[in-house]
Structure 1
């Protein structure tokens, strides 16, 4: 991707559409000059950084376009590290378009998606993982996804990676020194200390890798499937969880033919709830497709809410259903529905004490909204069963996960090489590879293609 870092760029920083206020952001070497050329009030080029000034903006004919507030940020004390002016105007589409066109006429160009944050990265205002966190913060839709993005944006994850990388660099430099004196057969790096360091770094990387599944769930929402036989009360349960009539409910078996997806926020964690067609031998082609989609959704989900009717469903039928549905990486809640019609139903009636199945049992009456709060609590606990602290470092970015995985494998090769007694040049090669992959996370190692892919995800004004 081409970076015209000498250009002055302009974009709307607030959402499009009519509103009370619109903010237009200019950034670049001529940002203050361009804004000042149309601003009537104080001379912006003579003002201190981080100051706000009231005035009017006039077009070339002298017509007043709007009364505005101009906020001045003088390089390098700005988000991008460049001169920045933020013009707060009235949120009329017409006014915003007129101001944008005026700034472009005066020498600015429209910013590319993510270009402000790209410039902040290239100007050393933040590293690459912090820049990615800006996009995650803007997209955060729950307390948990917000906490992860804030922790990463404030440098918590970057600091951990940089510390690991520096420790490796210190040892790698000693090994590189050995290569310079290879003819003299000297050893500067203590192999036992290097092995201990690599093992310590691997333990930290492993903990970060293990946090990815939870981090991805907290960032994107927990994929949760409601499945069970027809007329078990799946759609009624969805409506009870959402506290609204979202799904059609009837006594006719097979009413739900396609999946219905809704988002439920429980204590800051988003659950992507999917109501599915009932599991049975389908009576027609359309229902058969719905049942097949149910099985597909279950296979790709992290959480299964299996619902059964305590009046009409036999224990062997429940166990047979779960045998079809449960896979290795799914957490299961067994919801015994219609408990108001059979209140003496117990878990041991369906799962004997000697059973290997250890499913979380939730008795409810979806129609009467009985025990729905307990079901919500059980869903929340299923996600946070490891008691992860949101203030700790959690990996929620697939690119970071891939780089950490490669670095872990590189360090594995270092350990195998040390154990086999291979020469320093091969050990150094694997350490360099590990350093490279760790550096990709923070942007100390980057390419134009990588930057284009990352910053292309941003909105224009960021």
Structure 2
């Protein structure tokens, strides 16, 4: 998108979700936002009102009253986009919303593109690119932890870490560049040992940030968790109990579940995407066989496996053998013994050798809280402190951090080999470029379009 258009156009979009509701909010941003609204608003003269004020009146097309509305004014630069911003709160009728939108377009506004309000906020210096991306994460957050991490990033926690690292590296880059200007005089402004120490420190921090993505991805996208086991182990019963609804068909007939059933639940601030699968067994039924094959496909795509078995009908040796077959990639796996109410105390005790075993009675809901605790422990969030720890949740940031790390490796190798200053400077510039892409100090139109077109319209 051309940045010149951004500074001259006034854009408009519906900022509330589609569908009929009590109210809808229509947002305008741009130099003519207040003037355009004022031309259709009957009440106070909006062009002489103070910023951050509310005004009741009517929206009119000539003499025709479209709706009674409440208008919020945000005068530049004291707004989300740092432009003049108006928010019109009207009744939530689709007809009313469309009538007001058409009127504003006729008066000179244009439809906003996806994410254009936030894009303008970034281009006008309201916040950096990492903070802008966190806005989308905040809107999409569906758990306490995803909300907390997105809020911290939107308020600049991650950005401050990156800017600090980049600032320290810029100092040495400038010293080496200065040496190039005095190349014939053989002077050294940048202490090589300090540079090595700095790079080692930055790489240590980057490694921690990259490591945090494993948790960040879980917090942001949830944990795909496959429930597997033999027919009639109680997989569908367990899913229904966890979801607290009759999502899956429960039957004593083996092979009832022919395909996978998927739903989400929040446990301890983490979203788990549970997938109930067809029972694992040899079968001549073609449809059931397809279901078993899909179970194996889902296993390969999962981040966590619940292996559920009927403790009254299974031996510890069978469980160990089945787990070894199920989990060749050594994914986190939680063995769960079901139907403990049907097993003798001696039988229960015989499974003491199964590491991490959770014993439940799904039909009665017994020990489900212990199961939930074991699930959150498997995700390793016990060590997470979102108030202090910087968590990376964005794959684009991971890519930039990896490129930075590789460029810094090249700097260290260059220093060890005694290569020329211009080559060392080039490698440092590569590292600075990659770090700068995270916060938007280095951007391209393609990068911005790729980021902001994923936003919803109106934000």
TM range (shorter): over 0.9
* Alignment partner, residue 35 of structure 2: 33
The CA distance in 2 between the partners of 1:111 and 1:345, in whole Å, is: 68
Alignment of 1:58-77 (within 5 A): 58-60=60-62, 62-77=63-78
- Once the two structures are superposed, residues 371-409 of structure 1 have per-residue CA deviations (whole angstroms, 9 ceiling, x without a partner) of 111101111222235511122210011111111111111
> Which residue of structure 2 lines up, in the alignment, with residue 206 of structure 1?
207
Partner of 1:366: 362
**Is the counterpart of residue 417 in structure 1 residue 418 in structure 2?**
no
Report SS of the residue matched to 1:215: helix
**Is 1:293 paired with 2:297?**
no
1:290-348 Cα deviation digits (max 9, x unpaired): 11211121122111111111121222321121112224452111101111111425787
Q: Which structure is higher in helix share?
A: 2
Looking at structure 1, the residues matched to 107 and 407 of structure 2 have their Cα atoms a distance apart, in angstroms, of 52
Alpha-carbon distance in structure 2 between the residues aligned to 1:17 and 1:208: 40
Secondary structure of 2:290's partner? helix
Q: How far 1:232 sits from its partner (Å)?
A: 1.1
1:304–1:330 CA contact under 8 A, matched in 2:
yes
8 Å CA contact 1:339–1:345 kept in 2: the answer is no
**Alpha-carbon distance in 1 for matches of 2:178, 2:88:** 55
CA contact (8 A) 2:43 2:55 kept: yes
2:10 maps to which residue? 8
Aligned residues: 456
Per-residue CA deviations over 1:209-268 (Å, capped at 9, x if unaligned) read 000011011111111111111111111111121222211111111111111101011122
Give CA-to-partner distance per residue, 1:2-22, whole Å, 9 cap, x none: 442111001111112211111
15-24 or 207-216: which moved more? Answer: 15-24
2:381 counterpart of 1:380: no
Match of 1:283 in 2: 284
Name whichever of 292-301 and 160-169 sits farther off: 292-301
The equivalent residue for 1:105 is: 106
CA displacement, residues 173-197 of structure 1 (integer Å, 9 cap, x when unaligned): 0011111111111111000100000
CA distance 1:172–1:451, change in 2 (3 Å): same
1:455 aligns with 2:452: yes
Q: Distance in 2 between matches of 1:71 and 1:447?
A: 34
Which deviations, in whole Å up to 9, do the C-alpha atoms of 1:31-55 show, x marking residues without a partner?
A: 1110111111111111111111111
Counterpart of 1:249 in structure 2 is: 250
**Distance in structure 2 (CA, Å) of the matches to 1:211 and 1:48:** 45
Match in the other structure for 1:192: 193
More displaced stretch, 280-289 vs 62-71: 280-289
Structure 1 residues 157, 346: CA separation in 2 closer, same or farther (over 3 Å shift)? farther
Give the distance between the partners of 1:95 and 1:300, measured in 2 at CA. 46
Contact 1:225 1:273 in 2 (8 A): yes
The alignment partner of 1:97 has SS state of helix
The correspondence of residues 391-402 of structure 1 with structure 2, limited to 5 A, is 391=387, 392-402=389-399
Judge conservation of contact 1:347–1:361 (CA < 8 Å) in 2.
Answer: no
Single out whichever of 153-162 and 384-393 deviates more from structure 2.
Answer: 384-393
1:57 to 2:54 alignment: no
Counterpart of 1:307 in 2: which secondary structure?
Answer: strand
2:401 paired residue number: 404
The Cα RMSD (Å) is 1.5
**Post-superposition offset of 1:205:** 0.7
Say if 1:230 and 1:278, in contact at 8 Å, map to a contact too.
yes
Contact map agreement 1:52 1:70 (CA 8 A) in 2:
yes
Question: Which residue is equivalent to 2:338?
Answer: 337
**Mapped partners of 1:42, 1:297: distance in 2:** 61
| Structure-2 change in CA distance of 1:171 and 1:327 (3 Å) | farther
In the superposition, relative to structure 1, how do residues 316 and 171 fare at CA in structure 2: closer, same or farther (>3 Å)?
same
Structure 2 Cα separation of the partners of residues 374 and 347 of structure 1? 16
After TM superposition, give the deviation of residue 71 of structure 1 in Å.
1.1
Which of 164-173 and 279-288 deviates more? 279-288
User: What is the match of residue 355 of structure 1?
Assistant: none
Distance 1:328 1:386, change over 3 A: farther
Decide which moves more: 323-332 or 235-244: 323-332
Per the TM alignment, residue 57 of structure 1 is displaced from its structure 2 partner at its CA by 1.5
Q: TM-score, normalised by structure 2?
A: 0.96
Q: What is the DSSP-based 3-state SS (H/G/I as helix, E as strand, rest coil) of the residue aligned with 2:39?
A: helix
SS of the aligned residue for 1:311 comes to helix
Unaligned runs of 5+ in 2: none
Q: Which residue of 433, 439, 444 corresponds with 2:441?
A: 444
* Counterpart Cα distance in 2 of 1:250 and 1:38: 63
